[in-house]
Each structure stands twice: as structure tokens, then as C-alpha cells.
Chain A
Amino acid sequence: MAQSANISSELPVSFTPQQIKQLEHDSRRENRGRSWYKFSRNPMSVVGLVLVVALVLLAIFAPVVTPYPRHAGPFTDFPHAKLVPNLQYLFGTDQIGRDILTRIIFGLRSSLLMGVMVLVIVVPPGVLLGLVAGYFQGTWIDTVIMRITDIFLAVPALILALAIASVLEPNLWNGMIAVSLMWWPWYTRLVYGVASQLRNEYFVTAAEVTGASTAHILFREILPNTVSPILTKMSLDIAWVIIIGAMLSFVGLGVQPPEPSLGTMVSDGARYLPDQWWIAIFPALAIVVVVLGFNLLGDGVRDMFAAEEV
């Protein structure tokens, strides 16, 4: 707000619509440039971005880039079981002779899908509830929504997700549903905090006195101002959701065999420790790399939206 006031004091008083469009376009481009500058100021954020893009590409093109695509399914090759990492099988083979590298790359698919889908499911309702509760702060609507949110936040997400996943049929989609049911309150609480402050700002009051509808105030006045904290939280949350997804499949409540998943590979491999260490260790490291990539990226997104630090 303050910025536009500064600019207008130096510029002619009236604009043609084209000029306004041009100005908007320029300022948007300038903002993009500034955002990228803030993001890339920390080289680790760029590393994170590259890592995430590489992982996503690997997951998408898994059937093309992996050495043994058939090993992603119900494939057995007992003569080649439990082979130490070698040139033919870079990460070795598992207890029934499947290439671990291939299965890791295919396993990325369900991990990434989980991370993205949970946020896609969770963010719209979570944000909507937070907006409504924040705008109607102090009314019964606020009380009802935020008390329900409290209940869901009162239990560790993992346990309730495990319980829900165990009651449903264990598979990737039910795992997503279970985690989603536990995740929305974080967005409700986040947006509630922002919205309950914004409702007292002049631009909201101005909209109210000009007779704007509640929907207009919620979605056109308040929502755009909550975007940066939401995006920041999303980018940091993906890593968490992926960890929880890996935990679900680790205990057998996520992706079901023979479909490869990193968590299942770790828990299966753990039985062959210490002699066939590679069966568990490489998938475990893969999880770490995925989480690392999203965390670095998330830190970059946070820097991008953060107010100038002193």
C-alpha cells in the first residue's frame, strides 16, 4: 500500500487505461525479478529447486530412465537376489533380486504424489475455514470452527493418521485421506491469524461501507493478503507430508506391495541388516534427499516472501 502512494506522488495525476495496464505489468515484472533475487540470494535455495525439479523429472520419466523398469512390479529373480552394489546394479538388488535403484526411482512417484495431493486436498477447505472464522472473529462461527480445529491439533497428526489408515483399507489413496484429515487445521489456524488481523484494516472497512458482499471481502480483499504465508507453509509442508507418507508405508499402512514405495523398502530392508545393508540404506537416503530438496526449496520460498530482514 505504502509503495503505490510513493509512486503516485511522483507521477502525473491521471492515467489512461493503457497506461495503468502498462504500469501494472511493469510492477508485476519488477516484483517477479525481486522475488527471484530474494530466492536465489541463498545458493542453497537454488540447489533445492534444482534437486526438486530433478526428482520430479525422474519420477515422471521413471519407465524411461530406470535400468530395469520391469523390476518395479511383481518381478522375481532369485539367482540375482541380495547382490552387493556393482556396476550392473548400482544400488544392489533386494531380497528377491530386483534392482534397488529402479525401485527407488519408481518409489519417488508415490512419495511426491502423496506430498502434492495432500496439500491439494487440504489447503482449500483449511484456508476457507480460516478465512470465515477470522473474518467473523468473536461470533459463534469463530468459536465452532476454531474449537474443532483445536481438537484436531490436540493429537499428534501421525497417530490419528495411522488410526484412520488402519481402519480404512491400506493403500496410497486412503493414506492420503488419512493424512489430509489431520492436516487441514494447520491452514485454518494460519489463515485465521492473518484474517482476524486484516478484518480491522481500512481497506476491509472501506469495502464493507461500500456494500461489498461477504464473498467479495473474503476472497478479493482478505484472501490475496494471505497468499504468501500459505505458499510458504505449503512449500515447507510438502517435506513433512512426504515423511509422514513414508512412515505410513514403513509400518505397512500406505502403498501396498509389489508397488514400490520408499518407506516399505526401508522397513523390508531393515530385516536384512547388517549384512545386506544396501537394501534398507539406499531407500532411506533417498527419503533424506527428497526431504532435503523440499526443505531447501521451502526455505527459499520463505525468504522470497519474508519482509526485509534487518
Chain B
Amino acid sequence: MTQLESVQQTGLDFGELVRRHQSMVFSVCRHFLHDRDQAEDVAQEVFLGLHRNLESIQSEAHAGHWLRKVAVQRSIDAGRRRQRRPQVALADVAEPAAETAVRDPMLGETLRRLIATLPETPRMVMVLRYQEDLEPAEIGQVMEMPVATVKSHLQRSLALLREKLARRGVREERWIG
């Protein structure tokens, strides 16, 4: 145990917070940025930010909300710095085998790559909805936007993904739910 991990006032253990939330923070960054190394750097920045602000964190739940919100902001900033949006060109997205069954890793990778081609706001909305399982109202709070806008992004992104998949000969009827 380092002195960093010891907690007197808030009862929060920084090391424990890192271990508990690392997959959430890393996954938000990774699914948004579609880059493992950059996601690791950004996730580390997020936790170091938490370390600097640990005194203002009141509870475990507060830490989780704080981390998610900052992970969203830092990922968007990192994406803008990269200035290569969309990082994955649509033409580069591999076509999945059309007759394969669902939970095919190829289909999962295709979906992740298609999401990486979305503009930043709908991309982050999709990540929070399907990775974090957040309701539109919660996404609105994290991203500071009206619920109606969140719903609109979700609907348009889903329609766009369906269209792109259909164009590649992937139809939902073939999937085993």
C-alpha cells in the first residue's frame, strides 16, 4: 500500500478505485478512439485526474460518475487532437462472412469499425448506450445534451448501421438472436 492508497477523510482508496473502474474507463476510451494504445494513454490521464481531485470526490458512486464523464470528455478531446476522424475509412471495413452465425467475432469487429466511422457525438452516444447500458436520460446528463437529441442520435446511428450492414449483404434475419 502506498500513501496514495491510504485514505483518511473520504474513505476512498485510490488504488481500489483504479482497479474497480479500469475496464469501464479503458473501454469507453477504446471503443470511442478505436485505438488500444491511445485508449490506454487517455485512460491513464483520466485516473491521474481523479488522483488530483480525490478530495472533491464524496463517494464510490460519485467516483464512478466522475470517471465516466471525464473519460467521455478526454476521449473526445483526444479524438479531436488526432484530427483523423473517421479514423477507420468505411472502405477499410472488412466484410463479414454473410452466412456465418451470430456472435461471430467478425461481425463484432465490423460493428466496432462501423461505429468508429460515426461522427464523435453519435459515436460516444452509441458507446455509452451499448457498452455502459445507460438510458438516454443518463447519457444526456453525461454528455450535457437534451434527451431528445440523444434519442435522435441513437435512432439515426442505428439506421445508418443497418443500412451499411445491408449494403454489405448482412441482414438481421440471418443473425441468431
Q: Do A and B bind each other?
A: no
